[in-house]
Amino acid sequence: MSPNPCDGEEGCVHPLPRCRAAIRGGKNPNISSASFGKGWAGWDPAAPPLPPPSSSSSPSQPRSPLPASRLPRRGRDERRGRSPPPRRQAMDDIPGLVKISVSLKIQPNDGAVYFKVDGQRFGQNRTIKLLTGAKYKIEVALRPGTVQATTMGIGGINVPLEEKSRDAQVASYTGIYDTEGVPHTKSGERQPIQVNMQFNDIGVFETVWQVKFYNYHKRDHCQWGNSFGSIEYECKPNETRSLMWINKETFH
106 CB-near residues (< 8 Å, 6+ apart): 112, 113, 131, 134, 135, 136, 137, 222
Query: Helix, strand or coil for residue 19?
Result: coil
Q: What is the pLDDT of residue 201?
A: 82
Q: pLDDT tens across 15-41, in order?
A: 555 555 545 554 454 544 444 444 444
**What mean pLDDT is predicted for residues 46-71?**
57
pLDDT value of residue 38 = 45
pLDDT, average across residues 54-70: 56
Mean pLDDT of 207-216: 97
Please give the single-letter amino acid code of residue 173: Y
pLDDT at 84 over 70: no
Residue 231 buriedness (CB in 10 A; 0-12 / 13-18 / 19+) = buried
- Quickly state the pLDDT bin for 239 (edges 50, 70, 90): confident
Q: In degrees rounded to 5, what are phi and psi of residue 77?
A: -65, -40
pTM recorded for the entire structure: 0.64
| Residue 194 to residue 192: CA distance in whole angstroms | 7
Q: What dihedral do alpha carbons 33, 37, 38, 42 form, nearest 10°?
A: 0
Ordered by where they begin, the domains of the chain are 10-44 (no CATH), 95-251 (2.60.40.10)
- Tell me how far apart the alpha carbons of residues 221 and 227 are, in angstroms, rounded to a whole number: 13
